[in-house]
């Protein structure tokens, strides 16, 4: 790809969201808000047992309700469905994906066992309550703690999830280390709970063609799923998802309401909508529980001698879901002796799924908590311990980093937080009835880029449209793509339109992994550069052109014209150039892909340093996070305003992980019991106080043409550990099982 000089006026500046007005006025429409003539509504009937078989389904009373069109069960499911017996969607783990209404088997509690389709929602919901089901139950197991001995190494490794190879002799080094930590750590299961619930509206277009509005983080993933499962062609299925009301990973895979809506629409040959209710949002993907054993050994000079990190994650019985839980322990610090293991144990739930920075908050909670514990044993400042073992290469002996400014993040974060004023003694800081604690942790997440295509179209009226099939789940994708495109052609942002969330647009992977800015942004950048080059050729060929002998690298595109950098008075306008060339539009479709050579040679990560202050009511055990400073090194920041919002969201996510979020399973029933947002506690406004975000200057030139690293996930990584470390500093009580609730603060025993 030819690198061109850009006169940047938008990239790097804090710009308002181009879709902001649509969202705050309600004009932005989401999957369940689209309508169509003769639209029917489906309501899902959820199963009541955790494992077994359906003995009978009585739908007579439901079918007798006026307005009910059909009740679908495994007994009358259309035979056209599931042509691809074990179709793997784009982000599926190894195994056989769940197939709704496939047979009489019950694989988990809450499994969809029927779909009532009616003329409106209220009729469908009422009729669903009349469906009578009897079951044959089988023994189930949902307690990961009881399955240690049954844990296994997955026979097929999910891409990028294999633990790194061991180095040195960690066991011997830990045994010989004069200072060591050897403890167990655990987090609770968490559910995604985005504001927008999962929904699919399938519009019957006739002749077997459908338009699908789906809550999804990748419209082409949904399209591929539908075509494979129902035996349709891409021409038969168009998927649209212009706005997504949060997803956090729950929308990476097509969820079961999509299958049910498409199945019903194709069978009834009419438009159908299926939206899940809030409690049904607890009947599919979640962040998995993980049993972690972490041991760290160090010398008296605080240099790490060994790290051992073993984890057991839970998965379903039909897929081997995997995360990179232990990998971070092998990469974060300089250490010659490291060993990690990762195993799975099957429980009777739906398959866990990727949830904001999957694996990293889990594994880094254990690592960063253990590092904090080690600092107290060594009687060294927790920040100094990390600096003493700072890795200049991956793990201290691996690949060099494409860029790494974590040392600067430590310094700037500590200065802004006032870390030097910290009294290192636990329970030494107090105000009134509240104990005050200061804790810190490191954050690390992959900086990735995926192959992506984009189209750029410049019209003679000076307007530019760019399009790629990626998604915007609230991250600001519309805005940054608009900024990139506007700068490429020197146009005001008002003259640029970004189109995304449409399966007919150029190829894009799902929006996840914090790779969208790097991937979709680079594709738009390349496509716009191609338009620039074509436009410039026309400009050079104009009669008496002031740019006839110029090189594109010495020309600035700004204000709707092309001008010589050395002499801005010599220019031509876009309109005049296109008229002279006899064209009213210039279009280019290009693909951007990561450098395979650089991927092999370098390690690419975003880094952060998190400093947290908590106040703990000694009598009530209530914990308040009163201050957080998060210093982030993430390459070039395309839009400081939307970037800051991403880190703020991640930090709030981390506060929830540390203090409130917990999906509570009744193991006797095998069912999550707090399946609503009244009892599943996410942080609310009153829980959030001062959060300061610092972006550390970092030059990146090896990952992608824009020099950016993702921001969607780094904000949560390490945040829960920093808070837990602050709680220990405040109370002298080490809590190793998240969330940190009142009973663990004031109880007699450590809840480890």
Cα 518 to Cα 716: distance, rounded to the nearest angstrom: 20
**Cα→Cα distances 405→227, 391, 399, 695, Å:** 45, 11, 16, 10
Token pair listed for 36 = 């169509």
Q: Report yes or no: 410 and 609 within 8 Å, Cβ to Cβ.
A: yes
Instruction: Report helix angle 516-540 to 477-489, nearest 10.
Output: 20
Q: Which residues contact 403 (CB under 8 A, 6 or more apart)?
A: 633, 635, 698, 699, 700, 701, 702
Q: What is the DSSP letter of 585?
A: E
Q: Which residues contact 91 (CB under 8 A, 6 or more apart)?
A: 221, 252, 253, 354, 510, 512
Instruction: Give long-range contacts, CB 8 A cutoff, 24+ apart: 743-752.
Output: 743/621, 744/621, 745/616, 745/621, 745/622, 745/623, 746/620, 746/621, 752/183, 752/184, 752/185
Rama region for 26: left / alpha / beta (φ>0; ψ in -120 to 50; rest): left
- 587 in active site: no
Sheet holding 290-298, edge to edge: 179-187, 290-298, 304-315, 338-346
Q: What is the DSSP letter of 687?
A: G
Token pair listed for 647 = 């880190």
Q: What is the 3-state secondary structure (H, E, C) of 321-375?
A: CCCCCCHHHHHCECCCCEEEEEEEEECCCCCCCCCCCCCHHHHHHHHHHHHHHHH
Rama region for 257: left / alpha / beta (φ>0; ψ in -120 to 50; rest): alpha
Return the H-helix or E-strand segment holding 656: helix 640-659
Q: Report yes or no: 320 and 93 within 8 Å, Cβ to Cβ.
A: yes
Cα 215 to Cα 217: distance, rounded to the nearest angstrom: 7
Q: 3-state DSSP helix/strand/coil percent for the chain, to nearest 5?
A: 30, 25, 45
Cα 645 to Cα 641: distance, rounded to the nearest angstrom: 6
Q: Which of 267, 392, 713, 750 is catalytic?
A: 713
Closest CA to 633 of 717, 524, 551, 725: 717
- Residue that has been written with the tokens 């970092």 in this structure: 698
- Residue that has been written with the tokens 């784009």 in this structure: 90
CB atoms near residue 146 (< 10 Å): 12
- Tell me the β-bridge partners of 295: 182, 308
Q: How far is CA 487 from the centre of its chain?
A: 28
Q: Report yes or no: 711 and 606 within 8 Å, Cβ to Cβ.
A: yes
Q: Report yes or no: 443 and 609 within 8 Å, Cβ to Cβ.
A: yes
Q: Report yes or no: 208 and 236 within 8 Å, Cβ to Cβ.
A: yes
**Cα→Cα distances 412→417, 422, 692, 695, Å:** 8, 16, 12, 9
- Cα dihedral angle (533, 538, 540, 545), rounded to 10 degrees? -140
Q: What is the 3-state secondary structure (H, E, C) of 125-157?
A: HHHHCCCEEEEEECCCCCCHHHCHHHCECCCCC
Q: Report yes or no: 650 and 719 within 8 Å, Cβ to Cβ.
A: yes
**491-502 burial: b if 16+ Cβ within 10 Å, else e:** bebebbbbbbbb
**Catalytic residue numbers, as ranges:** 713
């Amino acid at each position: 790809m030819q690198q061109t000089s850009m006169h940047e006026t938008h990239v790097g500046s804090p710009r308002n969201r181009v879709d902001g007005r649509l969202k705050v006025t309600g004009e932005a429409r989401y999957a369940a808000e689209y309508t169509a003539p003769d639209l029917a509504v489906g309501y899902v009937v959820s199963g009541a047992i955790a494992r077994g078989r359906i003995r009978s389904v009585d739908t007579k009373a439901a079918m007798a309700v006026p307005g009910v069109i059909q009740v679908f069960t495994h007994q009358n499911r259309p035979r056209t469905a599931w042509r691809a017996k074990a179709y793997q969607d784009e982000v599926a783990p190894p195994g056989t994906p769940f197939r709704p209404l496939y047979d009489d088997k019950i694989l988990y509690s809450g499994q969809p066992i029927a779909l009532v389709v009616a003329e409106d929602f209220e009729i469908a919901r009422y009729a669903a309550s009349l469906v009578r089901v009897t079951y044959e139950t089988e023994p189930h197991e949902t307690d990961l703690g009881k399955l240690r001995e049954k844990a296994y190494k997955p026979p097929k490794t999910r891409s990028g999830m294999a633990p790194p190879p061991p180095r040195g002799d960690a066991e011997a080094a830990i045994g010989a280390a004069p200072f060591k930590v050897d403890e167990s750590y655990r987090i609770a299961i968490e559910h995604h709970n985005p504001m927008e619930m999962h929904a699919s509206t399938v519009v019957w277009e006739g002749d077997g063609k459908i338009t699908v509005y789906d809550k999804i983080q990748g419209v082409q993933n949904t399209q591929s799923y539908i075509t494979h499962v129902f035996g349709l062609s891409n021409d038969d299925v168009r998927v649209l998802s212009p706005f997504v009301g949060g997803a956090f990973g729950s929308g990476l895979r097509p969820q079961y309401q999509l299958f049910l809506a498409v199945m019903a629409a194709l069978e009834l040959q009419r438009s159908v909508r299926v939206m899940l209710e809030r409690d049904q949002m607890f009947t599919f993907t979640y962040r998995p529980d993980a049993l972690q054993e972490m041991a760290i050994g160090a010398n008296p000079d605080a240099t790490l001698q060994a790290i051992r990190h073993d984890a057991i994650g839970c998965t379903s019985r039909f897929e081997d879901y995997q995360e990179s839980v232990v990998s971070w322990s092998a990469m974060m610090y300089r250490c010659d002796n490291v060993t990690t293991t990762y195993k799975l144990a099957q429980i009777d739930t739906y398959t866990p799924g990727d949830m904001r920075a999957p694996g990293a908050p889990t594994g880094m909670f254990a690592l960063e908590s253990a590092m904090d514990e080690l600092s107290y044993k060594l009687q060294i400042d927790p920040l100094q311990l990390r600096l003493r073992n700072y890795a200049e290469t991956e793990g201290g002996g691996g690949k060099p980093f494409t860029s790494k400014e974590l040392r600067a993040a430590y310094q700037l974060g500590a200065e802004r937080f006032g870390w030097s004023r910290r009294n290192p003694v636990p329970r030494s800081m107090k105000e009134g009835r509240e104990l005050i604690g200061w804790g810190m942790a490191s954050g690390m997440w992959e900086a990735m880029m995926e192959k992506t295509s984009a189209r750029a179209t410049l019209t003679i009226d000076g307007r530019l449209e760019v399009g790629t099939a990626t998604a915007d789940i609230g991250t600001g994708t519309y805005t940054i793509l608009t900024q990139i495109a506007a700068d490429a052609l020197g146009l005001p942002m008002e003259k640029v339109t970004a189109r995304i969330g449409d399966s007919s647009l150029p190829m894009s992977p799902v929006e996840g992994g914090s790779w969208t800015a790097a991937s979709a942004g680079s594709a738009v950048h390349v496509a716009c550069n191609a338009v620039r080059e074509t436009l410039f050729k026309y400009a050079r060929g104009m009669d008496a052109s002031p740019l006839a002998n110029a090189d594109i690298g010495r020309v600035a595109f700004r204000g709707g014209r092309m001008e010589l950098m050395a002499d801005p008075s010599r220019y031509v306008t876009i309109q005049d150039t296109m008229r002279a060339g006899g064209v009213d539009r210039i279009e280019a479709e290009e693909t951007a892909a990561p450098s395979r050579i650089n991927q092999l040679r370098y390690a690419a990560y975003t880094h952060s340093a998190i400093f947290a202050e908590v106040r703990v009511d000694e009598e009530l055990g209530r914990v308040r996070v009163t201050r957080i400073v998060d210093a982030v090194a993430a390459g070039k920041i395309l839009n400081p305003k939307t970037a800051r919002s991403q880190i703020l969201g991640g930090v709030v996510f981390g506060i929830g992980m540390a203090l409130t979020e917990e999906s509570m399973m009744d193991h006797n029933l095998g069912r999550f019991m707090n399946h609503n947002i009244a009892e599943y506690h996410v942080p609310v406004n009153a829980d959030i106080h001062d959060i300061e975000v610092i972006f550390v200057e970092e030059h990146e030139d090896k990952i992608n043409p824009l020099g950016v690293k993702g921001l969607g996930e780094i904000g949560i990584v390490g945040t829960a550990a920093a808070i837990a470390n602050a709680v220990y500093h405040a109370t002298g009580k080490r809590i190793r099982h998240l969330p940190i609730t009142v009973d663990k603060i004031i109880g007699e025993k450590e809840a480890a």
